[in-house]
């Protein structure tokens, strides 16, 4: 519970301060199990801080609201809303000197320094794994290493950030770190730095855990999405999923499936590929995560300006059997959920050697599509006919709560307009502050 937000809302509604304080104190007692006198004093202090910090004006204290909430726009849900929001973030950042910048919507960013490509990436832990810190740390670390590998980089270090709410057990930090270092030690990539904080400091009650893990790597041959070109074929490895599949299993009554997600097949496949001469022939790589194959094929087509055709034949056989059985039982579209498979884009005459190299790591890979010149789009070829393969508003609903959340959606075009307006306001603020810092006026 965010006690600061509770106080701000109550004050904005014009509630009597004494009644607001009593109500807030009651919530604090319920969550923290503290004495009524402590809760009353705490509630009084929260309300005072909310009053003192409310109504401040100016660039440093205000932002232009979009009137669109994160959840209703699908931010973080790896669908159309999420992709659109990230493109607005890229607009705010603008064009930079990066070799691969955020405007290319790739898995990692790249700069050139000292004659080498330096690759940096960061992934947030799955929010629903808060009560399972080891799984959270394991899967987010594997995810960030994947993002470095698919850019053609050899990871050299990891960094982490962990935030636990005020009432969370300190042991969550340790279990999360154990999950990170399990992957790091297995792949010989050290965890070298990080940060540990409380969510919202004193203002957020409860035990919620959140955090991220980042990786830095070096590369000689980049495999960014923009290098996808007509005539290429798409190759995909088998996948058992990661944080998303583990979450689906835990919250839908299939805990036995979680163990299938505990593997390093993707990372071993990349290591093996990078040591093989055929690696230099690979144009692009990505992991099947962002809204599943639907989302990644769409993003690749948009970034590369090509038409991507995905052949549904055989894709189902690349989903780990136990995972596929669970997804079918829960009526979850496996094409719209993160499978954590490796997707490689390369010339057709290199495909057989790439498949052999990945196979030598004990990982199955098959050709699942090809690239054509034409409109920037992804299509699904089923029974000889092409079907729309655009990402949905959100990724496939993979928990009971997500199935409910998908039932109420505002008009997307209306929300998009408001989101753009808010992002443009942020750009103008950036320009104003930059002008002040540089001693000039716009």
204 secondary structure, DSSP code: B
284-287/377-382 β-pairing: unpaired
CB 155 within 8 A of CB 251: no
What are the pLDDT tens digits along the chain (442 aa)? 999 999 999 999 999 999 999 999 999 999 999 999 999 999 999 999 999 999 999 999 999 999 999 989 988 887 888 889 989 999 999 988 888 888 877 778 999 998 899 999 999 999 999 999 999 999 999 999 999 999 999 999 999 999 999 999 999 999 999 999 999 999 999 999 999 999 999 999 999 999 999 999 999 999 988 899 999 999 999 999 999 999 999 999 999 999 999 999 999 999 999 999 999 999 999 999 878 899 889 889 988 999 999 999 989 999 999 999 999 999 999 999 999 999 999 999 999 999 999 999 999 999 999 999 999 999 999 988 999 898 877 777 788 888 887 777 789 999 999 999 999 999 999 999 999 999 865 5
What is the bridge-based pairing of β-strands 116-124 and 109-113?
antiparallel
CA distance 141 to 215: 8
- Residue 93's contacts (CB-CB under 8 Å, 6 or more residues apart) are 101, 102, 103
Long-range Cβ pairs for the range 29-32 (8 Å, 24+): 31/1, 31/167, 31/205, 31/206, 32/167, 32/205
| Distance of alpha carbon 101 from alpha carbon 120, whole angstroms | 11
Q: What DSSP character marks residue 317?
A: G
Helices (H), 187-315: 243-251, 265-274, 292-304
**Residue 160 DSSP SS3:** strand
Total-model pTM: 0.92
pLDDT, position 441: 56
Q: How many CA atoms lie within 13 A of 385 on its CB side?
A: 3
Pairing of strands 153-164, 377-382: unpaired
Rg (CA), the chain: 24
Q: Return the SS3 of 121.
A: strand
Given the DSSP bridges, would you call strands 232-237 and 307-311 parallel, antiparallel or unpaired? unpaired
For residues 345 and 299, give the distance between their C-alpha atoms in angstroms, rounded to a whole number.
14
Phi then psi for residue 368, to 5 deg, are -125, 5
Delineate the domains of the chain, giving CATH numbers in brackets. 3-53 (no CATH), 65-75+83-222 (3.30.1330.10), 223-401 (3.90.650.10)
Helix (H, G, I), strand (E, B) or coil at 385: strand
| 162 torsion bin: left (phi>0), alpha (psi -120 to 50), beta (else) | beta
């Amino acid at each position: 519970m965010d006690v600061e937000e509770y106080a701000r809302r109550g004050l904005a509604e014009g509630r009597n301060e004494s009644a607001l304080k009593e109500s807030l104190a009651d919530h604090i007692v319920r969550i923290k199990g503290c004495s009524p006198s402590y809760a009353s004093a705490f509630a009084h202090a929260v309300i005072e801080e909310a009053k003192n910090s409310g109504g401040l004006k100016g660039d440093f204290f205000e932002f232009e609201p979009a009137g669109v909430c994160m959840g209703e726009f699908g931010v973080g849900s790896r669908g159309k809303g999420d992709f659109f929001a990230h493109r607005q973030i890229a607009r705010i950042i603008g064009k930079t000197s990066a070799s691969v910048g955020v405007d290319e919507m790739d898995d990692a960013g790249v700069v050139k320094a000292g004659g080498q490509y330096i690759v940096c990436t960061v992934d947030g832990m799955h929010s629903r794994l808060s009560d399972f810190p080891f799984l959270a740390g394991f899967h987010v670390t594997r995810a960030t290493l994947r993002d470095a590998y698919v850019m053609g980089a050899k990871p050299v270090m990891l960094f982490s950030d962990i935030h636990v709410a005020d009432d969370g057990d300190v042991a969550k930090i340790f279990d999360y770190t154990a999950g990170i270092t399990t992957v790091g030690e297995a792949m010989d990539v050290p965890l070298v730095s990080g940060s540990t904080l409380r969510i919202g400091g004193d203002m957020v009650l409860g035990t919620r855990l959140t955090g991220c893990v980042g990786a830095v790597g070096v590369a000689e041959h980049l495999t960014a999405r923009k290098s996808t070109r007509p005539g290429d074929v798409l190759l995909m490895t088998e996948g058992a999923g990661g944080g998303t599949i583990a979450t689906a299993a835990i919250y839908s009554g299939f805990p036995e499936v979680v163990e299938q997600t505990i593997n390093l097949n993707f990372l071993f496949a990349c290591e093996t590929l990078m040591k093989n001469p055929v690696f230099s022939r690979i144009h692009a790589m990505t992991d099947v995560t962002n809204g599943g194959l639907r989302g990644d094929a769409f993003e690749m087509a948009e970034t590369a300006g090509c038409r991507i055709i995905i052949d549904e034949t055989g894709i189902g056989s690349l989903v780990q059997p136990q995972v596929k059985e669970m997804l079918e039982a829960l009526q979850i579209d496996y094409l719209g959920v993160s499978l954590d498979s490796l997707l490689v884009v390369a010339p057709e005459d290199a495909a057989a050697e790439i498949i052999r190299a990945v196979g030598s790591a004990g990982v199955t890979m098959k050709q699942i599509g090809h690239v054509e010149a034409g409109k920037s789009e992804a299509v699904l070829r089923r029974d000889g006919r092409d079907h729309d393969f655009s990402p949905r508003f959100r990724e496939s609903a993979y928990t009971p709560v997500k199935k409910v959340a998908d039932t109420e959606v505002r008009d997307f075009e209306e929300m998009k307009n408001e989101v753009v307006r808010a992002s443009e306001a942020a750009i103008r603020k950036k320009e104003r502050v930059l002008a002040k810092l540089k001693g000039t006026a716009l």
